[in-house]
Amino acid sequence: MIDSHCHLDFPEFDHDRDAVWQVARQKGLSGLLIPGTEVRYFSRVQAVAQQYDDIYYGLGLHPWFLTSDHQHQLTLLQDALRASSDDKKCVALGEIGLDFAIAVEPEVQMSVFEQQLELAQQFSLPVIVHHRKSHNDIIRILKAYPDLKGVVHAFSGSAHVAQSYVKMGFKLGIGGTITYERSEKTRKAIKAVGVQHLLLETDAPTMPLSGYQGQRNEPEKVVLVAQVLAKLLEVDVDTISSQTTSNFKELFLTPG
């Protein structure tokens, strides 16, 4: 079982990172991917990934942290990707995307998103896509990059939206959202596409599961996500674990 999206590098884990990963391994996790969000923290992401077996990472510019100097940020991202091109642990470009619930201008976000998709093509990397109130624009933009693959992080949305991503070869990242009763639309969407298009994730230390609100989320909770997903899809947990692990390896660890 693999947590495909976990910010294990965040300061919330500085005092007990080893113990957190040890517990996760004991619960059955065999891997984890740390997305990059800001240039200034790329070295931290890389350092954590290099400390542990089976932890991989991505590098990207999250829309939340874009500044007026975003073109310089893009240059630094390109430099970091070039420097990491021979690092087998660098397996993705992300976390990138569009978030239309924040103050950063949509036009700026879309320009930076497109330029990062071009970098993903240049470096032959799958992308990790953040979304909020932006599915239509993300789908429209991705259609211009038919050779790109990736995962839609923390997917929530309709069956139609889910199918649009799947048809483009994208996986859907499934985390704590599905543990809440209010997520009926997303649950129906997930059921419609099936486990062959899904990845497990926690987004730890954020995005807590139902019943754990107010607590730090941790990678071990991906096991609970798998249990809820298994019940939703009416299969056993071993099937969820095996298929999502295979999906992860196909997307991030298979050359080309």
pTM (whole model) above 0.85: yes
Tell me whether residue 160 is annotated as binding. Answer: no
End-to-end CA distance of the chain: 23
Q: Is 203 part of any known ligand binding site?
A: yes
How would you write the pLDDT of the chain (256 residues) with one tens digit per residue?
999 999 999 999 999 999 999 999 999 999 999 999 999 999 999 999 999 999 999 999 999 999 889 999 999 999 999 999 999 999 999 999 999 999 999 999 999 999 999 999 999 999 999 999 999 999 999 999 999 999 999 999 999 999 999 999 999 999 999 999 999 999 999 999 999 999 999 999 999 999 999 999 999 999 999 999 999 999 999 999 999 999 999 999 998 6
Distance CA 44, CA 63 (A): 19
Number of domains comprising the chain: 1
Domain that holds residue 105: 2-252
Say whether 7 counts as a known binding-site residue.
yes
Per-residue confidence (pLDDT) for residue 256, from 0 to 100: 65
Burial call 121-156: b when 16+ CB within 10 Å, e when fewer: eeeebbbbbbbeebbebbbebbeebeebbbbbbbbb
Quick one: pLDDT at residue 255? 81
148: alpha, beta or left? (left if phi > 0; alpha if psi -120 to 50): beta
CATH number, residue 243? 3.20.20.140
| Strand positions, DSSP E, the chain | 2-3, 31-34, 55-59, 90-99, 127-132, 150-152, 171-174, 198-200
Instruction: Say whether 131 counts as a known binding-site residue.
Output: no
Residue 15 marked in a binding site? no
Check whether 135 is labelled as a binding-site residue: no
Sheet of strand 55-59: strand arrangement = 2-3, 31-34, 55-59, 90-99, 127-132, 150-152, 171-174, 198-200
